[in-house]
A = this chain, B = another copy of it.
Amino acid sequence: MTRTIHYHLTYTFLTIALPLPSRAAEESRPPNFVVIYADDLGYGDLSCFGHPTIRTPHLDRMAAEGMRFTQFYSAACVCTPSRAALMTGRLPIRNGMCSEKRRVLFPDSGGGIPADEITLAELLKEQGYTTGCFGKWHLGHLPQFLPTKNGFDAYFGIPYSNDMDRLNDVAPKGREAFWNPKVEYWNVPLMRDEEIIERPADQTTITRRYTEEAVKFIQAHKDQPFFVYLPHSMVHIPLFRSPEFEGVSQRGLYGDCVEEVDWSVGQVLETLREEALAENTLVWFSSDNGPWLIFDLHGGSAGVLRDGKGCTWEGGMREPTIAWWPETIPAGEVSLELGSTMDVFCTCAALAGAKIPDDRVIDGVDLTPVLTGEGPSPREHVLYYRGTQLMAIRWGPWKAHYYTQDAYGAGARLRMGQDPPLLFHLGHDPAEKYNVNADHPDVLETIDAIAEAHRKNLDAPPSQLEIPLPTDP
């Protein structure tokens, strides 16, 4: 009721005060999209996902006004392939954005997202959208791979992870560098469009600056459809936050950083409200992969889920996801429907009226019926890749592990083949504790058939992640 009244008032005000396009024109304008992507944030790290001591009032409010997804997945358990899938709606195995040898791109990598891949930004630009990327890219740092070459009109951010480019003559050896991060250890460049504007990037203010850039972009482009991609470099180690967030969280440094990302979300949503764009903007919040548990208290928590970043247990790939679109998404819904970050691609494309490419396999589905409350998710299964290896498949509530490998501890060095596959009922057993494969051979058969159909349709190009930097001629 609050929202209805609020928007009626806004509309009345606007029609009186401003020379606006007609209502009909307004209605034909496709929605704006904002995708906020945290880095290494765990499934259990938000208050609305159950964390007891991290305060996330803005994300809690986003969930209270929108839809909170409890079974939503990234397409990879590490950074580069996860982001490639979000941008293309395709599994990384299909576009070379994964590898067994190097799990992500590094400053010495010469590869990146292939030119013939169609990013969400490119698709939306064709529909007349203005597009901006503010944050960590990590799909190739050479000029031809940058956001501005992949559909984004504007870019402000770092090209790879914030722990890359260490100054080895300054930084202490080993993990202690991360425990007490000082800006002078790191040499990560900050770029605007295709230029390096600051090096090392001052990471203590980076969450705030990404946010300010995104907010300015929204304000500047509010009169046409826009797509804002805001991939925060936090809460990936080394952890940094603005002076205003020092010591604010009961959860310590990691909590401070999550709470600054939460502040960022609040700034974006408040801007949309202030600019009267809320009811015409779909905002997604998610994370690229699970928490990086080897960093102890500098890593997050997957809550009740097993393990974290880097593996295909649930903690590695299930993400705390919220969708917000007042008046279209019913407020305060908790959705148990299956979703994937690849579905963000298809959902936004469909809502923008864009044609989904039909010359290639697209792994995403259109979640619009879930968002509007009109129907179930079209997604029937989830494929869990680690590098180029299909490790596990979820079908409905069932998850079969063909291989298991932990992210953490002794099991991290050992990939175990499982025959028959381990089988978990993720509805009953979200923590993957109770293997029930002996009781459900029929389920394993169905999942085997999904695996076989997937393999038949798979054409994996060489890895981009194994290409070295070109040497100067």
Q: Which residues of A contact B (CB under 8 A)?
A: 1-2, 5-6, 44, 47-53, 55, 57, 60-61, 64, 70-71, 249-252, 255, 296-297, 301, 303-305, 318, 332, 334, 336, 397, 425-431, 433-434
Number of this chain's copies in the complex: 2
- Are A304 and B434 interface neighbours, CB within 8 A? no
Neighbour of A52 across the interface among B251, B297, B336, CB < 8 A: B336
Q: Which of A2, A249, A427 counts the most chain B CB atoms within 10 A?
A: A427
| Contact in complex: A297, B44 (CB < 8 Å) | no
Residue of B nearest to A429 (CB): B297
User: When the two chains form the complex, which single residue of B44, B297, B427 contacts A50, counting CB atoms closer than 8 Å?
Assistant: B44
Tell me, in angstroms, the Cα distance from A48 to B70 when the chains sit together. Answer: 11
Beta-carbon contact of A336 and B426 below 8 Å? no
> Can you name 29 A-B pairs with beta carbons within 8 Å?
A1-B5, A1-B6, A2-B2, A44-B50, A44-B304, A47-B334, A48-B48, A50-B50, A50-B51, A52-B70, A52-B71, A52-B305, A52-B336, A52-B430, A53-B70, A53-B426, A53-B430, A55-B336, A61-B332, A64-B64, A249-B427, A250-B336, A251-B427, A251-B428, A252-B425, A255-B427, A255-B428, A297-B429, A304-B304
Q: Which residues of B contact A53 (CB under 8 A)?
A: 70-71, 336, 426-428, 430
Smallest CB–CB gap between A178 and chain B, Å?
Answer: 16
Q: Which of B60, B71, B301, B425 contacts A304 (CB 8 A)?
A: B301
Contact residues in B for A429 (Cβ distance below 8 Å): 297
Q: Which of B5, B50, B64, B303 contacts A332 (CB 8 A)?
A: B64
Contact A50 B303 (CB under 8 A): yes
Which residue in chain B gives the minimum CB-CB distance to A61?
A: B332
Nearest-neighbour CB distance to chain B for A281, whole angstroms, equals 21
| 8 shortest interchain CB distances as A-B pairs | A50-B50, A250-B427, A52-B70, A252-B428, A1-B2, A2-B2, A53-B427, A52-B430
> A425 to B252, alpha carbons, bound, how many Å?
10
Residues from chain B with Cβ under 8 Å of A47 in the complex? 70, 334
Also in contact, A55 and B304, with CB within 8 A (given A250-B427, A397-B250): no
Q: Please measure, in the bound complex, the distance between the C-alpha atom of A71 and the C-alpha atom of B61, giving whole angstroms.
A: 21
A304 surroundings in chain B (CB, below 8 A): 44, 50-52, 301, 303-304
Residue on B nearest A250 in the bound complex, by CB: B427
**With A and B bound together, what is the CA distance between A9 and B49 in angstroms?**
35
Residues of chain B within 8 A (CB-CB) of A57 are 334
A15 CA to B218 CA, complexed, in Å: 49
